Amino acid sequence: MKLRIKITKDAGIRFISHLEYVRTIERAIRRAKLPVAYSEGFNPHMKFSLASALGVGVTSEAEFVEIELGEEIDLPATIKKLAVNLPTGIRILAADLADTKADKLMAQAGGADYRIVVPCKDCDWQAIVERFNEAESVLFQKPVPKGRGKTKEIEVKNFIDHLEAECSGDDLQLAFSCKITPTGSMKAAELLVVLRDSFEMPLLVEKADILRTDLYAVDEEGKKKSLLKPEYIA
């Protein structure tokens, strides 16, 4: 049996790394004494995984963890126990139970939604957003992880097709969906770099407040589908 939970990474802990976030959840599972399954071998490790890594500095209302269990559990009681053992900054939003053989959430994730608030002083944001939305192709030199400055050209529009924008004062708010494909995805922060460098939008990228609002599967018709069962508990 697998316990699957949807949790947050709130602003107070946005700067912990993905690895630190994983370790924190592992320790919370241990504190809550969940009957979690361990791998075999000399150095057994806890069988649990996260659906997708979040960039350092990004907050989220849609992190997914799946935990393989060694025995049956009572879902509401388990969630209650786990909740008190998580640090401030990680809240449980939803949970369900699935068969151990169910596809990994990581493999099911097809897209993520983001909302960004970023300072943009004196910028012609409506025209730029329109230009982006209407562009056939937007290319970006994506840095290769550990590539020492090497980059790989990607088509931004394959991942992010449309932006919603509004502005209040000097703060521009952007909302968009970003596809996750088997060959990769794009970071929300990278979109800001594209807008700044290729569209000459005067964004203060380093001050951007980025929130992942959702992570979901995408069905054959391209519709969003919740990763957890509809009868989840909140």
Partner 1 sequence: MTKQFPIDILSQVQKPARYTGSEFGSIVKDAEDTKVSIVLAFPDIYEVGMSYLGFKILYHILNQEEGVAAERVYAPWVDMEAKMRENALPLTSQETGKTLRDFDFVGFTLQYELSYTNILNMLDLGQVQVFSKERTNDDPFVIAGGPCVYNPEPLADFVDFFIIGEGEEIMVELMNAYKQWQSEGMPGGRSEFLNRAVLIDGIYVPAFYNVEYLPDGKVAKVTTNNSLAPATVKKRVVKDMNTISFPTAPIVPFGEIVHDRIMLEVFRGCTRGCRFCHAGMVYRPVRERKPELLKQLARELVDNTGYNEISLVSLSTADYSCLAPLIHDLITELKEEKVSISLPSLRVDSFSVALAKEVQAVRKSGLTFAPEAGSQRMRNVINKGVTEEDLMNAVGAAFESGWSTVKLYFMIGLPGETDEDILAIAQLAKDVQYKYFQVTGHRGAKVTVSVSSFVPKPYTPFQWKGQDTIDEIRRKQMLLKDALKVKNITYQYHDSVTSVIEGVFARGDRRLGKALYLAWQRGAKFDGWSEHFSYSRWLEAISDCGLDKAFYANRDREMDEIFPWEHIQPAVSRAFLWNEYQKSMREELTEDCRHGKCSGCGVCPTLDVKIIDWKEQGHDEAKN
For 186, the token pair is: 């794009």
Point out which residues pair with 165 in neighbouring strands.
174
- Whose CA is closest to 194, among 157, 149, 150? 157
**Smaller CB separation from partner 1, 44 or 76:** 44
Residues that bind partner 1 (CB under 8 A): 10-17, 20-21, 23-24, 26-31, 33, 38, 42-44, 56-57, 85-89, 204, 206-209
| Of residues 221, 227, 188, 219, the one with CA closest to residue 205 | 188
Strand 2-9 relative to strand 59-68, pairing: antiparallel
- Which CB, 19 or 234, lies closer to partner 1? 19
Helix H or strand E segment including 112: strand 111-119
The distance of closest approach from Cβ of residue 91 to partner 1 in the complex, given in angstroms and rounded to an integer, is 12
Q: Which is nearer to partner 1, 38 or 219 (CB)?
A: 38
- Pick from 109, 98, 75, 82: nearest CA to 25: 82
Q: Which CB sits closer to partner 1, 38 or 200? A: 38
The nearer residue to partner 1, 161 or 209, going by C-beta atoms, is 209
In the complex, least distance from residue 14 CB atom to partner 1, rounded to whole angstroms: 8
Residue 76 Cβ, how far from partner 1 at the closest point, in Å?
Answer: 22
Nearest Cα residue to 65 out of 77, 43, 39, 83: 83
Report the nearest approach of partner 1 to the CB of residue 173 (Å).
Answer: 15
At its nearest, how many Å lie between partner 1 and the CB of residue 64?
Answer: 19
Amino acid at 112: A
Residues 109 and 51 sit within 8 Å (Cβ to Cβ): yes
